[in-house]
Structure 1
Amino acid sequence: MQRLQAYKYELMPNGEQQRNMRRFAGACRFVFNQGLALQQQNHEVGGKFIGYNAMTKRLTEWRNSPETPWLSKTPSQALQQSLKDLERAYKNFFAKRADFPRFKKKGHGDSFRYPQGCKLDQMNDRIFLPKLGWLRYRNSREVVGTVKNVTVSRHAGKWFVSIQTEREVAQPVPQGGIVGIDLGIARFATLSDGRFIAPVNSRFKQHEATLRKAQQALSRKTKYSNNWKKAKARVQKIQARIANVRKDFLHKASTAISQNHAIVCIEDLQVQNMSKSAAGTAEAPGRNVSAKKGLNKAILDQGWYEFRRQLDYKLAWRGGHLIAVPPHHTSQTCPNPACGHVSKLNRQTQAAFRCVACGFEAYADLVGAINVLRRGEAVLKQGQDIARLACEVSGAVIPPAAGTHRGELAA
């Protein structure tokens, strides 16, 4: 089977290369915005969507126009990739996978992509990019596979290169059995076998005070002044550190779980809805706004959606499967096979679970993980033979819906 994988490194360009990269990113942003404006104008007069092939003819006109001569100094393939990104954004909108495309702003997601023409010299820690020449990069690991495309991006004042490769790998055999996971705040992830992963709390417990002071200093500066740019760079540096800490934690956690389990059951959480503001309106103000604000911060700090995304593709790499189950009442349902009582009174505190019907007691997140596991088992019983086969191939036995497995957990 074929595997697509990306390797990201920090670039170390000289002054001239940095200026060229900023110019290339600005040209790609200009082409994207021009294409988006043209699509909107065409729609207003009743025209049909302009495809990529027709857009490339407009790109030739823009490159040859005396008003935009600087476009000709940018690699044409990078500009063409911007039009492909625009077409992909429209297709995602039409398929209801994303919002309507928006105009790009300078300093937000500056990047450009090469589909070909790049050369990688790993022995000397350098990469060749068209119209930029050879650039040094921080070679932290070996690139494996055939290079398909290269993306150059800027983040927090630093330039990075992402190299996407393709290679043929043997059909993976998943390792381990099936497990359920309950995501939370006090515990980042609680597994149905009793283990748990402590949260990293990368932002609001370790860096919030530093970030707040930097943002306050930024707010007192005259916008776009030299001091404002320096203060903004400090804020970006802190935010980048926060993001890197969170990303490192999520990668390590998702890798450990995917390596040891063939099937992972997880709640299908709607994080965007869970983290909505409770402020309300002037006519109907919300309640417990301050508490809800703190909860929203904690939820977003955990990175639940990114954790699920990483689990999904890492399990697929190893031949495993991810099963998303409905999250309703997972922490309010008694896991005792002889009971199964559902009530909000079962969980009167955040940590403790005590069934009001049978008296079963356990940690609330563990109860949620057990119920998530059982809902995943129910999905398997409904006909997902591929996922069941993955568990059988790994030598694991899917626990029954009732019996000694539940009794052992209850004990």
Structure 2
Amino acid sequence: MLRRQAFKFRIEPTGEQQRQMRRFAGSCRFVFNKALALQQERYEQGGKKLGYAGLCKRLTEWRHDPETAWLADAPVHPLQQALKDLERAYANFFTQRAGFPRFKKKGQSDSFRYPDPKQIRLDQGNSRIFLPKLGWLRYRNSRKVLGEVKQVTVSSSAGKWFVSIQTEREVEQPLPKGGAVGIDMGIARFATLSDGTFHAPRNSFKRHETALRKVQQAMSRKTKFGSNWKKAKARVQKTHSRIGNARRDYLHKTSTTISQNHAMVCIEDLQCGICPGRPRAAPSNRESRSGPSQA
């Protein structure tokens, strides 16, 4: 069977590489927002939505426009991927799988993606990876990357940069072990299995609650958007990152344990509308397809 898997590592860029990555992430965010504003404007004027090919033509114009000529400094493939992300967001909206696409903000999910594996070189022996217009980047090699590299995503979180390497490889069909089990999610107990076993909650927030309160109080005493306020905000983000990492680690370990010891896992769906006494929530009314304002 074909397995697609992502291997995420923290990278250690130089100062110049960090500045370049911030520029690339900002360029992708600018292209996404500009294309979204263009689509909304065409809708308000009664025009037809542009497809991916039409947006790529506009991207070429933006890269040659003197006002946005700085877009040419960023690699073109990540910019095109931003347009693909917008196209996917529209498709999810029209199929009612998600809300209307929103404008991206600086500092929230800053990332860019390289889709062409021919432009990527991975040197696991020396713990480094080559990316276009960035050169060789050192990364913390915590495990071996298995399979053929298909694409790479560079992202920022809490002041740190990460690289996610998506690979593809053929593996043997896993054989199921154990029988069937049902899972009931709760509050006092994180997960209770039908065979009587249960998993206690992690309570990662309570463990960091005191530290989080202190850094939040310190940030509230700073002048907003000042240099000290930005430093305090970075400490708050770092604390939230620790809480999120602890939760993700616990979820991965718990789900791996359950899946490796049972052939079938059944979980109740509280949103399906079939459960007695739990009517399905009505979909929210969309005011218009023009979406939210840019403000």
* TM-score normalised according to structure 2 size: 0.91
1:18 corresponds to? 18
Matched, 1:134 2:136: yes
Structure 1 pair 179–133 and aligned structure 2 pair: CA distance change class (3 A) = same
Q: Which amino acid aligns with 2:232?
A: A
* Deviations 1:292-341 (CA, angstroms, capped at 9, x unpaired): xxxxxxxxxxxxxxxxxxxxxxxxxxxxxxxx9955579xxxxxxxxxxx
In the alignment, the residues of structure 2 paired with residue 183 and residue 87 of structure 1 have an alpha-carbon distance, to the nearest angstrom, of 35
Q: Any idea what the Cα deviations from partners look like across 1:353-379, whole Å, max 9, x if unmatched? A: xxxxxxxxxxxxxxxxxxxxxxxxxxx
CA change 1:28–1:41 in 2 (3 A) is same
**Structure 2 residue aligned with 1:260:** 261
Q: Residue deviations 1:236-275, cap 9 Å, x none?
A: 00000000000000000000000011111112135xxxxx
Identical counterparts, % of pairs: 70
Q: Which has the higher contact order (CA 8 A, sep 6+)?
A: 2
Mapping 1:210-289, distance limit 5 Å: 210-270=211-271
Separation of aligned partners in 2, 1:202 and 1:326: 33
Report 1:147-186 matches (<5 A): 147-186=149-188
- Paired with 1:328 and 1:161, the residues of 2 have a C-alpha distance of 45
Shift of 1:158: 0.2
Q: Is the 8 A contact 1:10 1:138 kept in 2?
A: yes
Deviations 1:367-401 (A, max 9, x none): xxxxxxxxxxxxxxxxxxxxxxxxxxxxxxxxxxx
Q: Deviations over 1:47-83 (max 9, x none)?
A: 1111000100000000001001210000000100000
Who is 2:127 aligned against? 125
Shift of the 180–168 alpha-carbon distance from structure 1 to 2, 3 Å rule, reads same
Query: TM-score w.r.t. structure 1 length?
Result: 0.65
User: 1:325–1:2: structure 2 CA closer, same or farther, 3 Å change rule?
Assistant: farther
Equivalences for 1:30-49 in 2 at 5 Å? 30-49=30-49
Equivalent position of 2:207 in the other structure: 206
In structure 2, stretches of 5+ residues that fail to align are 279-295
Q: Distance in 2 between the 1:262 and 1:27 partners?
A: 46
Alpha-carbon distance between aligned partners in 2 of 1:329 and 1:127, rounded to the nearest angstrom: 54
CA distance in 2: counterparts of 1:99 and 1:212, whole angstroms: 33
| Structure 1 residues 364-379: aligned runs within 5 Å | none
Q: Deviations over 1:200-220 (max 9, x none)?
A: 1111x2112221221222122
Cα shift at 1:224: 1.4
CA RMSD between the two structures: 1.5
SS in 1 for 2:204: coil
Q: 1:22 & 1:169 partners in 2: Cα distance? A: 37
Equivalent residue runs for 1:335-350 within 5 Å: none
Shift of 1:28: 0.3
SS at match of 1:67: helix
Q: Whole-Å Cα distance in 1 between the matches of residues 181 and 201 of structure 2?
A: 19
Q: 2:143 aligns to what SS in structure 1?
A: coil
> Structure 1 residues 232, 60: CA separation in 2 closer, same or farther (over 3 Å shift)?
same
* Cα distance between partner residues in 1 of 2:24 and 2:6: 22
Give the CA deviation at 1:179. 0.4
* Structure 2 letter corresponding to 1:191: L
Offset, 1:171:
2.1
Q: Counterparts of 2:277 and 2:74 in 1: how far apart (Å)?
A: 55
Larger radius of gyration: 1
Letter in 1 for 2:243: I
Three-state SS of the structure 2 residue aligned to 1:264 is: strand
Partner of 2:55: 55
For residues 79 and 87 of structure 1, the distance between their equivalents in structure 2, rounded to whole angstroms, comes to 13
How many corresponding residue pairs? 276
Letter in 2 for 1:161: V
Give the 3-state SS of the residue equivalent to 1:47 in structure 2.
coil
Distance 2:166 2:64 in 1: 32
3-state SS of the aligned residue for 2:251?
helix
Q: Which runs of 5+ in 1 are unaligned?
A: 271-323, 331-411
Letter in 1 for 2:57: K
